[in-house]
Structure 1
Amino acid sequence: MSAEANQKAKVTLYWLDKSRSQRILWLLEELKVDYELKIFKRGKDFHAPPELKDVHPLGKSPVVGIQAADAAKPLIIAESGAIVEYLTEYFGKWMIPKRYLDGKEGLIGAETEEWLRYRFLMHYAEGSFMTIMLVALMTHNIRNAPVPFFIKPIMKGVAGRVDSSFVSPNLKTHLDFLEDQLVTSPGGGEFFCGKELTGADILMIFPLEAAMQRAPN
């Protein structure tokens, strides 16, 4: 498929409120790709509506549909990391750092620091870092669960123990690490991978926002 044909592809973002799909919306704006936005609202139970399962069997968001000009049906892509990788590969290679040093293409150890950081963060954002945020969300829900008043202290105690023994120390470790990554950004850049915004920076925004809400003062 040529670059011209790629630009003619129809992109649809299945967007869910209060979800990670906001990052994909940001990415599409950065890529200046024309897209259609289909909006879904969470129910009173905060779960995604069942209609999202008509788009993808997992019924989650974000999901992106890409209809190529010569394709019979759209390609459906789920998972934030996979979506960012696919969209940047076809619509915005400038958001992927150069992989190899000049003249050393394909050699182990010849990758640029920018690209190594990019590859790491693309997995780290939804892996190591987001795991802490999910545990923090669970302890928050436990602490605020609608239970009888005499059980409330027990629930708060359990949540507090998990927060103090796991969430808080791990969160501090990761925030210190990320602060150092920004300080040492290649070329004195203001982004994680250097002077230019990358797909990895966009992936990082959701767990960073969640972390700042739970970080100790």
Structure 2
Amino acid sequence: MLTVHHLRLSQSERIVWLCEELGLDYELKLYDRREDNRLAPDEYKALHPMGIAPVITDGELVLGESGAIVDYVEKKHGAGRLSPASDHADFADHLFWLHWSNGTFMASMMMQLMLTMSGAPEGNMAEGFVADRVGKGWSMIEDRLGRADYFGGSALSTADIMMVYCLTTSRAFRPGSLPEALTNTRAYLQRIGERPAYQRAMEKAEPGMEPMLS
């Protein structure tokens, strides 16, 4: 049995949504964050050597890392239905956004968050460097969603599964809503929010929480 171990308010939300989009039979286990430091509880950390979300188990297999899990579940359990074939016109764009999500954009936002939490003085060199990377990222996203319906191109793909968390629930750790100027991004998130699979996933993964779509 495929089991998704979901740490509330974390990247494992992606895996719940993926399973719902694919219509899979899976077990969902929810874990609440610790009260004292908002990190994963010990029972979650014990699942995988990294001790962070996401984690799945599938029989004897224990697998971590968002991109690896998305690829594994979509290929092994979903017959590759949410990724374009290598001869499809969207293939390269799909690959870019699938990997850019955590490889560059999420990493840059995490650096920005850590700088803020560290109490580093404003105007330091690292702050400017990271802010520039994050700003360029949001500009790329807005441009992409003005030229394509989905990050991977003409249809929803695992690139969207990876990207949407960055634009939505990840903002729970930093104040503010999406800038009004990001009209393409806002319209895209409204379309995502209308998907029955996304609605089911969020109801299961974050019961009682309004999805952060604006």
TM-score (norm 1): 0.72
Name the residue aligned to 1:80.
Answer: 66
Is 1:40 the counterpart of 2:27? The answer is: no
Name the residue aligned to 1:166.
Answer: 129
Q: CA deviation at 1:22?
A: 0.8
Q: Distance in 1 between matches of 2:62 and 2:85?
A: 27
Q: Distance in 1 between matches of 2:74 and 2:111?
A: 30
Q: CA deviation at 1:78?
A: 0.6
Distance 1:166 1:54, change over 3 A: same
Q: Distance in 1 between matches of 2:130 and 2:177?
A: 9
Choose between structure 1 and 2 for higher RCO, CA contacts under 8 A separated by at least 6 residues.
2
Q: Distance in 1 between matches of 2:55 and 2:63?
A: 6
CA RMSD of the aligned region, Å?
2.3
Q: How does 1:148-159 map to 2 (within 5 A)?
A: 155=120, 158-159=121-122
Q: Any idea what the Cα deviations from partners look like across 1:110-161, whole Å, max 9, x if unmatched?
A: xx44111111122211111112110121133234xxxxxxxxxxx5xx1554
Name the residue aligned to 1:70.
Answer: none
Q: CA deviation at 1:176?
A: 1.3
Q: Any idea what the Cα deviations from partners look like across 1:24-69, whole Å, max 9, x if unmatched?
A: 11111111111111121221112211212432122211101112xx
Q: Distance in 1 between matches of 2:178 and 2:107?
A: 15
2:108–2:134 contact (8 Å) kept in structure 1: yes
Q: Distance in 2 between matches of 1:48 and 1:195?
A: 37
> 5+ residue gaps in structure 2?
181-214
Q: CA deviation at 1:163?
A: 7.4
Name the residue aligned to 1:20.
Answer: 11
Match of 1:31, as an amino acid?
L
Q: How does 1:6-155 map to 2 (within 5 A)?
A: 10-43=1-34, 44-67=36-59, 74-92=60-78, 93-100=80-87, 112-143=88-119, 155=120
Q: Which has the larger radius of gyration?
A: 1
